[in-house]
Amino acid sequence: MSKKMLLISYFAPPILNAESILVAKTLKFLSREYAVDMLTVGKESDFKEDQFLVEEMGPAVNVIRAANPKPSSRVLRKVYREAMARLTAIDNPIWMREAKRAMANLKGDYDVLYSRSQPGASHVLALEAKQRWGIPWVAQFSDPWGHNPYHPLHGKTKAVVEQYERQVIEQADHLIFPTLEMRDLYANVYKSAGVIERATVLPHHFDAELYRGNAPQRSDGTIVMSYIGDFYGLRSPAPLIKGLTILQKHRPDLVKRLELQVVGNVERSFHGLLEDAQQQLGLRVNRVGQVPFRRSLELMAESDLLLLVDAPSDVNLFLSSKLIDYLGAYRPILGITSTKGTAGRLLNEYGWQVHHPEDTAAIAEGLEAYLTGLPQLQEQARQMEIDRFRSESVVAELVRICQRIQRGQ
């Protein structure tokens, strides 16, 4: 008889966002080892859909969808979110209610329970499943829940979320974090919970089968430099534009050859910054917008070099899933992120430059080095040893973790 798993993840295919993409890539390989029931959301009007992610996930997963109805209007959804925030401290309470009803109809005859966040509601539901059925439980955090430095909680919300978070940390049989910094954050906050002893640092991963395309030889000498992701909040294009402005003063010939390709959503407050850069610096700015996941990988592979841009921080707790997708494209990467943290260490390990977002002079120097030494850097990228980030490798470790806790180890 095949082993059975209940996966609880609010975000899942066909939703087009980073967490759903990770779920799709994970399930493609995880469902070869487990018969998976996945409890997730139904229609999610805050996000676009990408049916390719359903194909990537594969047909073997039994998907159980619980509704989380929201207004179709963007304006009304904002009002709805603000109203819900005043009424409850837990995110997605309507989905929680419907998902609990769906879970009540399940037999609970699972060998292992696996939950992912964000949002934290997935872990809250898994906590109830653990208490109801007592099955071994792996809880995976892609981002911090109650202690996210970019989204601090306050008042009643903070107290309630931290209460649930503590229960998750204490009752899960095993914890997974994408970075050492995130693991250590939780170990420090919940000192008595034995986090280190029950935790694994497991990175995001890329599916090598999905990449198509190569950077073409452009007869006009254009260099396509791509940022794949969104600009919003503190994650701004300003450090890059400032670096390009410094470079343009003494190497206008390099900047003139550049095409800056932004593939993702750009917050309205940054539109003028990108438009001014195009007019004043002489480079072309190509705002592509959000594209289906498969197309984003094609654009990575067709780029001459790739940019990782993070919000300013002293130590970067996070590991962007797109950075691992970047590695899978075998292209040079310039990091505009904290030099302290997993992302910076990883880029340095492969010989790529990393500069803090506030160090615009260093960013300018890095841009010049990449643009003048591009052929050598592209050959360096082709030689990277990145098998440890392949989906097969990472999901195999996840399976080993699940098997260990099934045996009570």
How confident is the model over 306-332, as pLDDT tens digits? 999 999 989 899 999 999 999 999 999
| The pair of three-digit structure tokens given for residue 44, joined into one six-digit string | 């999610």
Contacts (Cβ under 8 Å, ≥6 apart) of 99: 8, 39, 66, 121, 125
Q: Angle CA(286)–CA(289)–CA(294) in degrees, nearest 5? A: 105
Same-domain check for residues 54 and 82: yes
Same-domain check for residues 187 and 315: no
Same-domain check for residues 183 and 250: no
How confident is the model over 80-113, as pLDDT tens digits? 888 887 777 788 999 999 999 999 999 999 999 9
The closest of 76, 28, 79, 33 to 55, measured between CA atoms, is 28
How confident is the model over 118-158, as pLDDT tens digits? 899 999 999 999 999 999 999 999 999 888 888 888 888 88
Is the separation of the CB atoms in 377 and 305 below 8 Å? yes
The closest of 232, 230, 234, 285 to 255, measured between CA atoms, is 285
Same-domain check for residues 243 and 345: yes
Same-domain check for residues 227 and 328: yes
Same-domain check for residues 133 and 225: no
How confident is the model over 20-32, as pLDDT tens digits? 999 999 999 999 9
pLDDT band at 72; cut points 50, 70, 90: confident
SS3 382: helix
The mean-pLDDT minimum among 73-87, 166-180, 244-258 falls in 73-87
Same-domain check for residues 265 and 298: yes
**Exposed, middle or buried by CB within 10 Å (0-12, 13-18, 19+), for 149?**
middle
Same-domain check for residues 15 and 118: yes
Same-domain check for residues 230 and 168: no
